Chains A and B, each alone.
Chain A
Amino acid sequence: MPNMQPNKTPMPEQDPHVRNKNFKEVALGYTDEMAINEAQRCLQCKNPACVQGCPVNVPIKDFIHEIVEGNMDKAYEVIKSQNSLPAVCGRVCPQETQCESKCVRGIKNEPVAIGRLERYVADWYMNNREPAVTAPKHNGHKVAVLGSGPSGLTCAGDLAKLGYEVTVFEALHAAGGVLMYGIPEFRLPKKIVQEEIQQLEKMGVKIDTDMVMGKVLSVDELFEMGYEALYIGTGAGLPNFMNLPGEGLVGVYSANEFLTRINLMKAYLPEYDTPIIHPKNVAVVGGGNVAMDAARCAKRLGAENVYIIYRRSEEEMPARNEEIHHAKEEEIIFKLLNNPVAIHGDEQGKVKQIECVEMELGEPDASGRRRPIEKKGSNFLLDVDCVVIAIGNSPNPLIRSTTEGLEANKKGCIIVDDNTLQTTREGVYAGGDAVTGAATVILAMGAGKHAAKSIDEYIQSKADQ
């Protein structure tokens, strides 16, 4: 008999007033008992809807079944067959709009906590097993992957499994993309990201950091070097600014810069050299995961008041529900239906205040969300010494601008064929945020998988000729 407990088994967490002063992980994960208890809530549906909600089609009920049986090794194998970064996905996927949104238990009660279970299995495996991954035999073909975010890493892993000699070229000094420089330690410990990457390296994937592709090597040069196909997974790392008066003031950051200093450069630790300002009152503009992360980091740097300024209402916020919830618990102040119009500074050019207007929601726009309209004359000032702009990122034009024949749309996203993910250049494939614009980890991984399959077919069909 399944466990008919209506709600998800709660996951232990650090106390909000303790954790908003440290960078340690907030959610502490299930114990064995909790995991088995939660796994027993799964009905083992004949036609499981949950799998359709998972962009990489993890055989969800099968791995949950193995947890119930106590076969953790087997559970891990089942997940790994479809998902190369389970410890990451279990932590950062917006399950409420994916697998868990489809779960039948969610119709009357809370859905099965699929994400928490995935995380539990991946963590259990890392803690209890020495992964004995061996490199498969090479098939004599070489593929280059540009960018080491979740998309590039997944593509590289799948190709390596098929015997390809894969080199991943990464511009920064560490591999992982947003997982390393964007998502903070308290949501996704960097040790976990690095362990997942090491497993890929054991499978024979070569990772070359410090290589800014498009500058150091062009697409054409890679083909000359003997790579038979390329995958572009360079993400959407170009920060958008708002063109507000005062954006050049000292203390105004893009979320990318703020988070890179904190996460990649570890500016919050005294033994690291990269500086960061330690603001007292911070305004973060935006309502996505990036804004939540920036706000919660600011709090942890010691800020007294951290405001999220978002022009729509909470309902329209694109951030994960869990992160919004966590941010509120950590005393982040939500200024909803507010929009900044200017940033004011002092004589030394430092941020002093942010000027906002109130908004109200009008008719739905093209995206289906109700359009925010400014309330005339509702301007007000907030005293802040730091402003973080988190209104979105676009794809970095570096590779596109240095590669002839590689086409992109108006927004700078690389154009690909939906069926194969091939770009407008033969043998060059692309996916993840570089194609979709800023999206999610799992969609980026799904694209990496898809492209690996197409690349394999492309190279094999060429070899057959």
Chain B
Amino acid sequence: MFKIIKKEPLNPSMTRMVIEAPFVARKAMPGQFIILRVNETGERIPLTIADYDREAGTVTIIYQKVGKSTLLLDEQEAGGYLMDFIGPLGKVSELEGYKKAAVIGGGAGCAIAYPQAKALHAMGTKVDMIAGFRDKDLIILENEMREASDRLIVMTDDGSNGNKGFVTAALQKNIDEGADYDLVIAIGPIPMMKAVSNLTKPYGIKTIISMNTIMVDGTGMCGGCRLTVGGETKFACVDGPDFDGHLVDFDEAMKRLGTYKPEEAREREEHCRLYGGIK
């Protein structure tokens, strides 16, 4: 059992949780994730390690409430316990040796992109962070992202924060103005990562994306997380989650992510009826 040390809502749909997990905290590195199970009947879901404190033996996760399991997670309170918390899993991001990077987060993806920006920044890489949200009420981690970068651009789809447009628009503008990136990291919904990869490809800018495939074990034993990269089958949980955005078959990955759409919708509804959770 893993104790919940702290819980704090970031916006109406996102929450930050600090979990006591000393073994995970000891080894965690940027780019890695954990798999958790809330209770005995729960499913195993992957979440990125947003932060860690080796001394305190704690790991921070930030999750968006999108379905049954994240709603169930959100019903747990500080002082309570999670059944299972497994990690660190996945490859450590390779961030060394870059001069200037654009780190792009879309919605919940900002929670995953932020530790990357922080690590790059700490290594002396110049970092432009571009964060995109649907509207201004959904903006999270603004201060953290600002601290982890040299320049932060926050975009909203509807322009409610005064900066209307998608993250790709901001990236294009920076490139046009001569930003001279030697690395782009994009993390968020698959269509966004695909759009960013398509944008950077003609410029030959190395682009890393973080694949959020469906996972079960997270240790390479099921292949549920497989995707096609450069024509080869890869397992996101052990070969990734970071991959070269110019080689990933995004369309296939998008379809695979929808495998359980009907089941997910049913579970979410039943859960909401039973527990009055947020729709």
Contacts and interface: CB of A to CB of B under 8 A. Distances in A.
Contact of B89 (A215, A241, A257): A215
B137 interface: no
Contacts of B27: 215-216
Contacts of B252: 248, 349
B126 interface: no
A128 interface: no
A104 to B, nearest CB: 42
B233 A247 contact: yes
Q: Chain A interface: which size bin?
A: 35 or more
Contact of A398 (B86, B220, B255, B259): B220
Given A210-B86, A275-B264, A396 B228 contact: no
A365 to B, nearest CB: 26
A210 B85 contact: yes
Nearest to B67: A273
Contact of B221 (A217, A239, A349): A239
Interface of chain A, main secondary structure: loop
Contacts of B72: 273
Interface stretch (B38-46, B171-179, B200-208): B38-46
Contact of B228 (A210, A211, A248, A348): A248
Interface residues of B, number: 42
B216 A260 contact: yes
B217 A241 contact: no
Contacts of B43: 265, 272-275
A265 B216 contact: yes
A239 B86 contact: no
B68 A216 contact: no
Contacts, number: 110
A237 B260 CA distance: 24
B240 to A, nearest CB: 14
A250 interface: yes
A256 B223 CA distance: 8
Given A216-B23, A216-B27, A248-B228, A254 B223 contact: yes
Contacts of A172: 217, 219
Contact of A257 (B84, B88, B223, B255): B223
A271 to B, nearest CB: 5
Interface of A: 171-173, 209-212, 215-217, 237-239, 241, 243, 247-251, 253-254, 256-257, 260-261, 265-266, 271-277, 348-350, 396-398
Interface of B: 23-24, 27, 37, 41-44, 68-69, 72, 83-89, 216-217, 219-224, 226-228, 233, 238, 249, 251-252, 255-256, 258-260, 263-264, 267
The 7 lowest CB-CB distance pairs between A and B, nearest first, are A349-B255, A257-B222, A275-B263, A237-B221, A273-B43, A274-B43, A275-B260
Given A209-B84, A248-B256, A396-B220, 15 more contacts: A173-B44, A238-B221, A239-B223, A248-B227, A249-B255, A250-B256, A256-B223, A260-B216, A265-B216, A273-B69, A273-B267, A275-B43, A277-B259, A350-B255, A398-B219
